[in-house]
Structure 1
């Protein structure tokens, strides 16, 4: 096996190899390996061959890996350059041969050289990416609302603050959505950039053969002065009882709100549509206001809750200085990084006015692996909890509480997108 493993080449794909790379990608994700010309044309239009890796057994692609540039919003609203990783597969016949290790090492080294502050991914399987220094940094929750129990006025038709709800089409969304999302992204830790293709695909302007399209309804919230402050996309089924009673479900496909008023109005709109007795929220922040916007919060039950965005810190100094801090204090911490990309000992001094993070030779107060730093960086997890689990080591008693006072945030980070 060792000699055969050494014969496997890991390298960027060439343009003629893209169809074979797509076949390997589909095989790895248990989709049909048949690749129509439309899928080849679509993927070729946006993948960068220099950042699209494949492992090749002779001429056959047996593992896939792709990265692309991204901006990630740090705590406080400052964007940092990120190496976004996606399309990671290894064909079943070639597992356990170190192919992912080689692809990941090659990509992260290039990201470090480019000056990316972090790398990001959405993990299909939980146990894979910790060994590469990634830690789960945000989570996401899905609710299901029993409209009949929610306690909202079924005769509601418009916001009480003088705003309004308007139905629009995909073309309107492509005009209004990007700027609205940018306003959200500037204030939401964990949010990432959306390019023009994202809006084209998610409004049906670009149709993918691998993802059947159902045209959704789009509703926008406008404040009293006409400013667009919210947008929701949703689809409805067609369900009736034997007694000819409607039991339709509205399923949210996308939801942006830049103010609590817009958030309240759009959820109320969804819960007041005739025939709709159930609303599925789609992926939301774990501390979303949704349940508490209902007179009876028990009408919203959690159906799914899971880790979402994973973060791998590549530049400790820039990552810690990019974010804001609600508390004030100092902490000396040591980062252990087996890949040699971000390890070292650092002194963090932080306050509401800003932060400095500098390499130091002082004795550490806290020691943690780079994956735990990724988990803590956006403020969602507790160093005290990680210390109790043995994943963070206190070199000075109470250091984990100091870390929590500096790093944790009043609202939880959230990434609205999958990639």
Structure 2
């Protein structure tokens, strides 16, 4: 018989073994070190067959930045795994159901995860909401950026240490996420991992940390990158992998990208996670130098519809009555959304509605990164009142695309 229980610190080695096994890996001292550093009481769920762990899940509290500059309490779900011998026995379903119930009961208004399979979590009410890109730029010939990209800044570009990054980074990032829709806070363990504070997690290729400090002495940008030596008989060449890119303004963005792309002997620059609408490709002398692909997509699951919809601001005023279909029951029913001066009042209603929509599709629209017209064309929205889908789209749109910078949530 399979039972679920909260994982204690003493249970962690067995829990870690099950998690690694599900992804065809054997646990190492590095894995144990990382899991122990991220451990917090009450966040880990284990599915047990007797005393053997066969399923894992982590559900951690986060604060999610939404349109309008406010945050809502969120549950970040990660480390979801079932060992190979126990798959297709309902263990994942039971763990997800338990995690969502626990999140809702603890006051988390929304849940967030990053799935490996597009269709796996839609059945639990999750919808794709926050997309990001991976970009690789051919820097072989140098002069990659346009001449118009500011290079005569009055600030200072500084190489800093890992220890300095652990002090400067969190302060800079907290300022950044105040205005970045889709961002969450980062836990101290995330910064420890980025800066390799733990000896056991240090990688063979060490990262470099570079900041931009403006003329007032204010740090407004940070990039973190590593370099890999390319095998060549003629010359020394490197590929750069940028794993962190946080900018508070255009000055810091231009200055730090100019620095990255002017480094000598660099053939290619890969940016592993960047916003969909980041202007990096427009800064290039020749946009064809860049190869772009979609990176991870964060999926949202609304658990408290009135709280979630009331938290954000909207692009225009209007009133809509919507029927929300939610098989899990958290948000199922008919609701009126009345927006005045960009703020919404949300209340349950009865009778006819303007729109019928699934909770997963509503989550796709919530952060401003979705398009209601597209969802309607795909039969994911049913329009009962002419023009209501257009109004929904105009209300929910945002001028800047949402983006979730890395925060410790892994693919599940």
Matches of 1:63 and 1:150 in 2, distance apart? 49
- Pair 271,41 (structure 1): closer, same or farther in 2 beyond 3 Å: closer
Are 1:150 and 1:297, in contact at CA under 8 Å, matched by a contact in 2?
Answer: no
Q: TM-score when scaled to structure 2?
A: 0.93
Map of 2:372 onto structure 1: 383
Map of 2:264 onto structure 1: 274
Matches of 1:131 and 1:294 in 2, distance apart? 41
- Pair 45,148 (structure 1): closer, same or farther in 2 beyond 3 Å: closer
Structure 2 residue 225 is the aligned partner of structure 1 residue 234: yes
Matches of 1:128 and 1:153 in 2, distance apart? 40
Are 1:379 and 1:409, in contact at CA under 8 Å, matched by a contact in 2?
Answer: yes
Map of 2:160 onto structure 1: 168
Structure 2 residue 64 is the aligned partner of structure 1 residue 81: no
- Pair 119,148 (structure 1): closer, same or farther in 2 beyond 3 Å: same
Worse overlay, 269-278 or 141-150: 141-150
| 2:285 aligns with one of 295, 299, 303 | 295
Matches of 2:111 and 2:391 in 1, distance apart? 26
- Pair 351,280 (structure 1): closer, same or farther in 2 beyond 3 Å: farther
Map of 1:119 onto structure 2: 111
Matches of 2:133 and 2:43 in 1, distance apart? 32
Map of 1:93 onto structure 2: 85
SS in 1 for 2:362: helix
Map of 1:27 onto structure 2: 21
Matches of 1:9 and 1:222 in 2, distance apart? 53
Residue-pair matches, total = 408
Are 2:145 and 2:284, in contact at CA under 8 Å, matched by a contact in 1?
Answer: no
Map of 1:3 onto structure 2: none
Structure 2 residue 353 is the aligned partner of structure 1 residue 364: yes
1:395 deviates by 1.7
SS in 1 for 2:64: strand
Map of 1:4 onto structure 2: none
Structure 1 vs Structure 2 CA RMSD: 2.2
Matches of 1:316 and 1:387 in 2, distance apart? 21
1:157 deviates by 12
SS in 1 for 2:42: helix
Structure 2 residue 245 is the aligned partner of structure 1 residue 251: no
- Pair 307,386 (structure 1): closer, same or farther in 2 beyond 3 Å: farther
SS in 2 for 1:218: strand
Matches of 1:104 and 1:179 in 2, distance apart? 33
Structure 2 residue 388 is the aligned partner of structure 1 residue 396: no
1:11 deviates by 2.2
Gaps of 5+ in 2: none
Matches of 2:366 and 2:274 in 1, distance apart? 20
Are 2:150 and 2:254, in contact at CA under 8 Å, matched by a contact in 1?
Answer: no
- Pair 207,193 (structure 1): closer, same or farther in 2 beyond 3 Å: farther
Gaps of 5+ in 1: 1-6
- Pair 157,80 (structure 1): closer, same or farther in 2 beyond 3 Å: closer
Map of 1:219 onto structure 2: 210
Structure 2 residue 9 is the aligned partner of structure 1 residue 18: no
